[in-house]
Amino acid sequence: MVDVQGIPGFNAVTKNSLQTAYTAAHDFATHPEGWLILKGSYGCGKTHLAAAIANFQIGSGKAVLFVNTPDLLDYLRASYGDDAGMRFDERFELVRNARVLVLDDLGTQNNTSWAQEKLYQIFNYRYTEKLPTVITTNQDFEAIEPRIRSRLVDKNLTTIVEIFAPDFRRPKDQSFSDFSALHLHADKTFGTFAFRDEELPHSMSTNLKRAFEAALDYAKEPVGWIVFQSIAYGNGKTHLAASIANYLSDSGEHVLFVGVPDLLDYLRDAFDPMTHIGLAKRFAEIKKMPVLVLDDLGTESATPWAKEKLYQLMNYRYNARLPTIITSSQSINEIDARLKTRMMDGNICAFWNLEAPSFKGTKESNQEKKGFRKRSPKK
């Protein structure tokens, strides 16, 4: 058994999902029964685990069919050709009766009526016969054809494992999403944060210190959500969020820091026919980011489309318990009710209202005076 808990640079949610996926794949490889669905974003390890299952079976002298979904459909279509070496019905029976079928990248196929019908026939047969099947997909179940989806989510047959991990094929120093603004906040660390003791009333200074301590604790163990809210601008919300992000990034974590208006512009750009990354992929990368910082929630243009995308993003991360840091200068009562209920859920989210007014001074920060000039050391 591989212990992923000791892997540096991954938060608890990522580590647990990788450990769960590995354990499920290992168990299926040794005792192939029922269906196993490995679900996750691009490059998170789904295909690696599926191929490991297939190779384990082959190494044990057992028959297994491993095939990419678009390639499977091409293989079936090719049987209609004049020079086909095997008739369609023979190929189709070979696939749907495979002792163990590993179907990679479900959802990437061209969904013609013919393709949907053939996939449904394969899934329905294997579902009825309870034949061992492994499926990988980066699709949400809502995007999968309903007849197939109903079989995939049957808990009596299927084990569903979702992997929350970054793209292992993408270098760490290459931005997970090219528009991350964390580099613009490199100076905002726990060491440069000012408590403003000489400027603020004691109650406000204490409130700021408590928010600082909560942010530092969160950075050391990013679990759930943390929100920094205040109707005042420039009083430390973004500084605390960036401090967490810089701390985690220095520790090797994959972090996306983005202003909410910029996030929505990035998604809108996917509608440009010249873009190389479609909306579905962009949205999937963002919503499954190991750590996401949403800065300035409430400053975006509140169109119905924008509201829906933000809700989908935050609802996904809320249900998945993915580490999320949010700042907002909008009153909590002015925030979309669907988002508000998630941000105010004390079981998932720590909500901090910063009482201090905008920072006007330029004095050296309290932490710098204490010699805490550098970023928090790497773990």
Give the three-state DSSP class for 61. Answer: coil
The CATH number of the structural domain formed by 182-369 is 3.40.50.300
In the three-class reduction of DSSP (H, G, I as helix; E, B as strand; rest coil), residue 229 is classed as: strand
CA distance 55 to 30: 11
Domains 4-163 and 182-369 share a fold: yes
**H or E element: which one contains 152?**
helix 146-152
Q: Cα-flanking dihedrals φ and ψ of residue 327, to 5°? A: -120, 150
Is pTM beyond 0.85? Reply is no
310 with 274: CB under 8 angstroms?
A: no
* Cα of 222 vs its chain's centroid, Å: 14
Residue 149 in contact with residue 111, Cβ under 8 Å? no
| E strand or H helix at 70 | helix 69-77
Chain centre to alpha carbon of residue 301: 24
- Other C-beta atoms closer than 10 Å to the C-beta of 353 total 12
Q: What is the DSSP letter of 155?
A: T
Determine the Cα–Cα distance for residues 311 and 314; give it in Å rounded to an integer: 5
Phi and psi at residue 319, to the nearest 5°: -65, -35
3-state secondary structure of 213: helix
- Give CA separation, 351 vs 220, 234, 328, 359, in Å: 17, 18, 11, 21
Element (H, E) at 292: strand 291-297
Which residues are CB-neighbours of 106 under 8 A, at least 6 positions away?
69, 119, 135, 136, 137, 139, 144
CB 126 within 8 A of CB 99: no
| Residue of 42, 31, 20, 3 lying closest to 136 (CA atoms) | 42
In the chain, domain spans: 4-163, 182-369
Q: What is the pLDDT along the chain (379 residues), one digit of tens a residue?
A: 454 544 555 778 888 889 999 999 999 999 999 999 999 887 889 999 999 999 999 999 999 999 999 999 999 988 876 565 678 889 999 999 999 999 999 998 888 999 999 999 999 999 999 999 999 998 888 889 999 999 999 999 999 999 987 777 665 544 455 678 999 999 999 999 999 988 899 999 999 999 999 999 999 999 999 999 999 899 999 999 999 999 999 988 889 999 999 999 999 988 877 766 778 888 888 988 889 999 999 988 789 999 999 999 999 999 989 999 999 999 989 999 999 999 999 999 999 999 999 986 544 445 544 444 444 444 4
| Residue 22 CA: distances (Å) to CA of 46, 50, 82, 99, 165 | 10, 10, 44, 22, 13
> Could you confirm whether domain 4-163 is CATH 3.40.50.300?
yes
Q: What is the pLDDT of residue 278?
A: 76
Measured distance CA(13)–CA(317) in Å, rounded: 11
